[in-house]
Amino acid sequence: MSCLTLLNGAIRNGFGKASFSTTQSLQQIIKLSRLRVVDNSALGRAAMQSGKPPRCIHVYKNTGVGTIGDKILVAIMGQKKRGYIIGCRQKQAAGVPRFDSNNMVLVDDSGTPLGTRIRVPVPSCLRGKATGDFSKVLAIASKFV
């Protein structure tokens, strides 16, 4: 974090006008991506209100790019928590909803959701993945789209 801030400062102060062009962000969920907690857990709410939303620090997947239904590890309020991605900003396949934010729900180590309700719609296609711990997440969804 401090390293990044220093680098940003160097770009802004040292070089004056940035001499490089930047492309539009892909909005991919990779390591260090920020996410939005959409369940009603106290920890999630506190993190969103403090202005420091959780950062993804690992995607449990070989590609390293998270998409809907994937399990991730996040850094939230100084803790490490696991969670599931339930909505992506990236372009999706036909019929799969694309959300305006990267949404996630927090789960504890046994895979039980920390909250009791998901405040936003959940992609309907995720119901095909209702196996093991993920079915507990779907059980607290309030709406499917």
Nearer to other proteins, 32 or 145 (CB): 145
Nearer to other proteins, 38 or 107 (CB): 38
| Residue located via tokens 């039980």 | 112
Phi-psi region of 108 (alpha: psi -120 to 50; beta: other; left: phi over 0): beta
For other proteins, which stretch binds (CB under 8 A), given 1-9, 51-59, 94-102, 106-114? 94-102
Cβ-based neighbours of 90, under 8 Å, separated by 6 or more? 26, 27, 28, 67, 98
The three-class DSSP label of residue 75 is strand
Nearer to other proteins, 5 or 24 (CB): 24
Kindly state whether residue 102 participates in binding other proteins, applying the rule CB under 8 A: no
Site string for other proteins, 32-71 (x = CB under 8 A): ------x---------------------------------
User: Restricting to residues 5-24, which ones interact with other proteins according to CB under 8 A?
Assistant: 24
Q: Using CA atoms, how far apart are residues 87 and 79, in angstroms rounded to an integer? A: 22
